[in-house]
Amino acid sequence: MFEFFNQPEVIKIVVTVGSMTLFFVGLFGLLTQKHLIKIFMSVAIMETALFLLFIGLIYKQSALAPILTDNQQGFINMNDPVPQAMILTAIVIGMAVLALGVSFAIEYYKLTGKTDIDEITSLRN
């Protein structure tokens, strides 16, 4: 039974469905939650889902991690390093934006006492 899940196609389907469901959870949170922290959290979850999708679809079971160790002959039969580098960049950027957003929220709360996205409507329209 477990062998069924080891086929590359099945893994790809699992990754696609799983990460899209995680994306859905984030989107759902973004649309329904009111507290600013929850909204930032939803955004972070959506980002994580995209990273999982990317790395998961690039993943080849037979290939190795793109790091040369002692008993290897050269950079052959390895997983693609470019997506990993991209995701590394994207994670750091996402964290920076998140921290900035939280600091805005903290300062806004200090001034007005509001954390609810529905109450942040003092600018007209």
Partner 1 sequence: MSSVLFIALPLLFGFATPLLSKFGKNGVAFTSTALQLFLLFLAFSLIGDKPYIEIISIAPPLGISFVLNKVSLFFVTLFTFMMVAFSIYYLSYRKTDAYKNETKFFILLNMLLASAIGLVLSSDIFNVYVFFEIAGISAYILTAYKKTPSALEAGIKYLLTGSIASIFLVFAIILIYLNIGSLNLAIIAQDFETLPHNIKVFISILFLIGFGFKVEIFPLNFWVSDVYEGSTALVNSLFSGIVVKAYLFAFFHILYLFLPSGEFSTFLIYLGAISMIIAEIVALKQTNLKRVFAYSSLGQVALIFTAFALQSIDAIQGALFIILAHSIAKIVIFLALTTIEKNYKSLDINVLKELNAPFLRVVIVIAMLSLLGIPLFAGFIGKFLVLKAFAVEQIFPILAIIIIASLLEAVYYFKLIGFMFEKGDRKDKIKVDFTHKFIFSLLTFLILLVGITPFVISGFLLDSANVMLDSISYIAMLVKG
Partner 2 sequence: MNLKRDISTSTFSGFALSASLIITFLNVLLNNIPVDIKRVGDELLKLNGSEGVANAVTTVVVYFRGFDTLGEIAVLFIASLGIGLMLDSNIRCNLKAESNFMLKTASQLLFPIIILFGIYVMVYGHLSPGGGFQGGVIIASGVLLLLISHKEFEVPHSVITLIETFAGISYVLIGLIGLVVLDKFLGNFLPNNISDMGLLLSGGIIPIIYIIVGIKVGSEMSMITQNLIKRSDDV
Partner 3 sequence: MIGFIILSVFIGIIIIAFSAITQKKLADSIILFMGVSLGSVVLFFIFKAPDVALTEAVIGAGISSLIFLMALKHLGEKK
Interacting residues with partner 2 (CB under 8 A)? 9, 12-13, 16-17, 20-21, 23-24, 27-28, 31-32, 57, 60, 65-69, 74-76, 78, 80-86, 88-89, 92-93, 96-97, 99-100, 102-104, 106-107
Determine the straight-line distance between the first and last CA of the chain, rounded to whole angstroms: 57
Q: Which of residues 38-57 bind partner 3 (CB under 8 A)?
A: 38, 40-42, 44-45, 48, 51-52, 55-56
Q: How far apart are CA 91 and CA 115, in angstroms?
A: 26
Q: Segment contacting partner 1 (CB under 8 A): 1-9, 65-73, 105-113?
A: 105-113
Q: Does 117 bind partner 3 (CB under 8 A)?
A: no
Q: Does 111 bind partner 3 (CB under 8 A)?
A: no
Q: Does 67 bind partner 3 (CB under 8 A)?
A: yes
CA 80, 44, 58 angle in degrees (round to 5)?
A: 15
Please say which residue, 5 or 104, places its beta carbon nearer to partner 2. 104
Displacement of CA 44 from its chain's centroid (Å): 6
Burial class, 5, CB count within 10 angstroms (exposed 0-12 / middle 13-18 / buried 19+): exposed
Residue found by looking up tokens 């600018």 in the block: 123
Q: How far apart are CA 44 and CA 83, in angstroms?
A: 19
CA 21, 82, 100 angle in degrees (round to 5)?
A: 60
* Contact footprint for partner 1 (CB under 8 A): 30, 36, 39, 43, 46-47, 50, 53-54, 57-58, 82-83, 86, 89-90, 93-94, 96-98, 100-101, 104-105, 107-108, 111-112, 120, 122-125
